[in-house]
Chains A and B, each alone.
Chain A
């Protein structure tokens, strides 16, 4: 296992080799690896010819990325980059796994494409033991997208702007569906700013604390005409709401979860929700009836069977089969289908279908530049003991929780003449917060870290930049330029 991470995290400690790259140099690393793989003859020519398009243009696009240039941009020694290239290129099977360190950049989508290019180059995709694995931070992120919780998709990834697809859903649901793509969260905030979005129904999110440039998010959400929040807890967003709908939690509702490997699992209800809390399906059905639409009263299984009739991916996944088989991986179109453990297997069959395109991508540095005024690169992230803005985990104690802090390399702390008993002022181009110092040997000089878990104590998103990836809508949480000053 090679771990690529600016910080030496506990995962990096577990790895055989750690590459401590500069924040935001992911594409530089990928392109350098690609050039080295090509020049060393470690490409999978057979796979490239049969299953991909655009190799020549891609090869040309990475040609400038010599090991030396890669080392200069990423900060990792050329010999170590070469070692990774050869290990990945010559491995019998290899996987690329990633999470927010790749996606929370203004080039998040390009970062992923750069990784896909590597898998196409070496044929490490669509085969047992090889593949591309975006690791999810929650047990049902995949399921949320599958069920259509995306602005441009209906359940089963049917395009909302495709009239034919829409018609099937409209026939089953007995109602028209808006024919245009909706807004993702970053665009919603812009729409609030423009005054075109005046009411918001938030289900299980805490945007006033989780979004970059939190001061702006709070201002916008506070200025809405009407805000409804449906959650297990009274979050900071719920505090601003006109109506709070208490929702039921895990174990209090029946339903399905879908893991990162597309495995759908059936979960039973084991107890009633407390107080007035109700399941999401209950709440939404009741809401519909109050809004004057006569939704039928359906069991959870009936709702699921309706979904199965509309989403071919899920067609064969009866509750009975899910229970018997311990879950099934989509696509699973009918009840005789065993599910699909490997998604892109077709690339290795005679019937390749549409080939996978190489997507040349060029490295651009993070938006928030390092200057003499803002010389420290701040990156944000999560710790094992806490979850996101702390809504779920904050109420439980943990012996290893250190609270909101700014983590510094010991060398930087020495230079600033501060230690763990002290609070420092952290200032970015957008805002300034005070935070207690925590020393982390896993950081090198010039690199600082803050967790996102304690917005009430240290509101890290006052600092982060609201630049976002136009393709995914994800903000560049990972790269902020700051300066750090001793207080008092």
Chain B
């Protein structure tokens, strides 16, 4: 099966954890008992290989039961799924949250990313360590409104967020909102309550309109994706609908990992049925029989609520022709990139693929796939309920409808804000309680976005205005830094983030993110002496990564660095 077959044997608890995902073995060849017939007949082949997508769930089961992926446990999974152990090890070791070595019973994953580090993450980590706690530093956990954030990781139980107090409610009055209106008011585990709050009306209305009717409303709405790439949803869905293929997929991309972004988490935790309703409309329009939700591991509560919601919908017989599967990532920023997300669900390392072919033609399992951001799917409900024209009445011609922003950092009330496209940046910050202290700079769009200075407060938040200013809205992250911020430290953290999260598949990104970080460290320490040479190097690395990387990770890995140098943010160059 592999160049170095594993000889370690799985323990009983490991086997039963894996069997919980894969079912009990059927023969000696499948990890069970050998008998007389075993020497004469065996089955497996395609049927075992076609279950490869259960690799990640099986590895999660091992991690949860045993704390880590032991050689014996890994070998057992490989035997069951007929995967070479080296291949499966490559998958396990790809993810930050699947340990392949023994670890302490309890580990605290402490965020030290850009928002949390300006909110005292280092002090909090030092305190934890002083108390004897095992701490692993983590990139953004998507809980920037309660920074510094942590996640608890205990053997024998699922991950859970470690909140000092109850999560804050929505900062806005939900009555006035279109995307967030149920968050905090509806019981996220009750379909009945969801329907009492207007749930499932869009799904019924979509059935009345038919696929062409829904597509027409989407075209009128000019809805563009809220994950960062701003692709027109109508084009994506009609492309998938028209693509040849018997089996099609729709996916809700809940792998919200862009530092400073947490809007999708709020929707998934607070209104999970809405996410699934949007996904089922997507399935109906595209003709997909398989619906998937991919949630990052760092959002355990969201994943659990969506899983329960999917069960409730299944039990209630809503959209009986569509299967809904909730899949949990394992700690990899890259998996938010759509083709990497496919690879992750399929049971491979979450590495991106070349496009074309585009997912609408060849996506998950190389079948036609419509993949959308969580907020996008919830926006679809509003469009189907009220019509595309009403949706497009808000915002500008290019940037229509309401939009969620994750506002964090040096503001009075960090949180998720729903505003119409076109609101001025300064007004959004005022809505969030204004700047605490003197404004230094604002990071728009997260680590993959760019810094803007105080002169940008008058900029309308639209796709076209930010683009004209050389910035991006991206995922809607707005991180506010005061003028006491050590920007050198923040920018180096961003560079370290990309170096760490680069999947390594393509050279420009794999090498470029390392070179970028090294140059920034030299510039920041003043050890270089040849500042011009370093800046030229950064500019070269920027050009190569931006032009030649396979996916968006590498193409945006220099964006924030570039803008920090352009603005001359203090501390970046010593």
Contacts and interface: CB of A to CB of B under 8 A. Distances in A.
Contact of A76 (B28, B29, B40, B46): B40
A8 B45 contact: no
Interface string B19-43: 0000000001100001001111111
Interface string A190-222: 000000000000000000000000000000000
B406 interface: no
B4 A77 contact: no
A20 to B, nearest CB: 5
A355 B42 CA distance: 38
Nearest to B39: A444
Contacts of B354: none
A400 B40 contact: no
Nearest to A445: B39
Contacts of B82: 13-14
Given A8-B29, A10-B1, A399-B3, A16 B44 contact: yes
**Among A1, A8, A12, A399: residue with most chain B CB under 10 A:** A8
Contact of A20 (B41, B45, B47): B41
Nearest to A385: B3
Nearest to A1: B45
Contacts of B38: 444
Nearest to A409: B39
A17 B29 CA distance: 12
B45 A17 contact: yes
A139 interface: no
B3 A8 contact: no
Interface in A7-53: 8, 10, 12-20
A20 B43 contact: no
A75 interface: yes
**Among B1, B29, B34, B42: residue with most chain A CB under 10 A:** B42
A13 B44 contact: yes
Contacts, number: 56
A76 B42 CA distance: 11
A76 B41 contact: yes
B41 A19 contact: yes
A441 to B, nearest CB: 8
Contact of B41 (A1, A18, A441, A445): A18
Nearest to A8: B42
Contacts of B1: 10, 13
Dominant SS among interface residues on chain B: mixed
Contacts of B43: 16-18
**Among B28, B40, B42, B46: residue with most chain A CB under 10 A:** B40
A77 B45 contact: no
A149 B89 CA distance: 47
Contacts of B41: 17-20, 76-77, 80
Contacts of B46: 1, 16
A445 B39 CA distance: 8
Interface in A135-158: none
Interface string A435-446: 000000101110
Nearest to A83: B41
Contacts of A17: 41-43, 45
B39 A77 contact: no
A236 B115 CA distance: 71
**Among B39, B41, B44: residue with most chain A CB under 10 A:** B39
A444 B40 contact: yes
Contacts of B3: 399-400
Nearest to A74: B40
Given A13-B82, A16-B47, A399 B42 contact: no
B472 to A, nearest CB: 45
A10 B46 CA distance: 14
Given A13-B1, A399-B4, A400-B4, A77 B42 contact: no
Interface in A433-465: 441, 443-445
Nearest to A410: B34
B39 A18 contact: no
Contacts of B34: 441
5 contacts: A12-B42, A15-B45, A18-B44, A399-B4, A400-B4
Smallest CB-CB A-B distances: 8 pairs:
A444-B39, A16-B45, A18-B42, A20-B40, A400-B3, A15-B45, A399-B3, A80-B41
